[in-house]
Amino acid sequence: MNQLDALKLCSTVVADTGDFQQISGFQPQDATTNPSLILKAVQMPAYQQLLQDTVISHNGAPLDEVMDRLLVHFGCRILALIPGRVSTEVDARLSFDTAATVARAQRIMELYRHEGIDKARVLIKIAATWEGIEAAAQLERQGIHTNLTLLFSFAQAVACGDAGVALISPFVGRIYDWHKKAAGAQWDESARAGANDPGVQSVRRIYHHYKKHGIATEVMGASFRNTGQIIALAGCDLLTISPELLAQLQSSHAPVHSALKPELSKAMDLPELHLNQAQFRFAMNEDTMASDKLAEGIRAFCADTRKLDALLSA
């Protein structure tokens, strides 16, 4: 059995891509997209026609509506290839506006409904700011399920659990990147691999907290830099993986053992924690890595969204 098939026995495998032509060979359950992945895809010759058709079909519509329709078109194509859910992201420029995030998410879901897609097959991706988490709480009460992304801290995870969001995506690779850069010449790659990887440790802490305290929010490790990080999180509820790393897992036959199990988490002595807005903001302020990476991630997604705007306008 290859590592990908072995991993599927203990975690739900999710494809992290906008290039839906790559998905079938890996047979993932779900798929995730983001502005950067969609931007990368629409610049490929295979997707030029999809971009052009979207613009022509909705000529004269507001740019933000055309953008959402493009995202939904990609989502529908992906859903035709997988049995599960697709995650579609709200414009990152709304990350600090609860009302606007809710309205945009509602429109995206309405566009999916018009395409005949059941809302159970769509997760709305929202940046895990305080405002984003508040928006997600409102959407969940409306039956619209959410995926809180750009998650780098335990405080963000606690707030998401309190809000009752369906799923969170803690970013393993970007946490790893920050710590490696901060350590500079002192970084020891072999000593900080596997279970000692700071990104892996962050996800494990969140997973244990959720399982110990009966929090229903699913944990989906994301943003991997290597297969070692993935294998170290085998047993996590879900793992969203790029096609490149899926291919590496598929070609390897090294053993895979479940590192995370709910029963082990439940046996741990872990304090229950809840955060109000002031406590959340203070915790984020104290966490330099999380503050840096959240801000950087929002800026990067905004930059790529503006590039998509330019392509749609052109």
Q: Residue 171 carries which DSSP code?
A: B
135-161 burial code (b ≥16 CB/10 A, e <16): bbbbbbeeebbbbbbbbbbbbbbbbbb
Residue of 125, 211, 212, 293 marked catalytic: 125
Annotated active-site residue 119? The verdict is: no
Record the pTM.
0.96
> In the prediction, which pLDDT does 307 show?
96
CA distance 138 to 28: 29
The CATH number of the structural domain formed by 3-15+28-306 is 3.20.20.70
Name residue 31's beta-bridge partners.
15, 86
Which residue, chain included where needed, has tokens 């429109």? Answer: 107
| Nearest alpha carbon to residue 68 among 17, 123, 111 | 111
Taking the CA of residue 43 as centre, how many other CA atoms within 13 Å lie in the half-sphere pointing to its CB?
12
Mean pLDDT of all residues belonging to the chain: 97
Residues lower than pLDDT 70 in the chain: none
> In the prediction, which pLDDT does 314 show?
84
Whether the CA torsion 61, 64, 65, 70 is positive or negative: it is positive
Residues 6+ apart with CB under 8 A from 246: 4, 13, 15, 26, 28
> In the prediction, which pLDDT does 170 show?
98
All structural domains of the chain with their residue ranges = 3-15+28-306
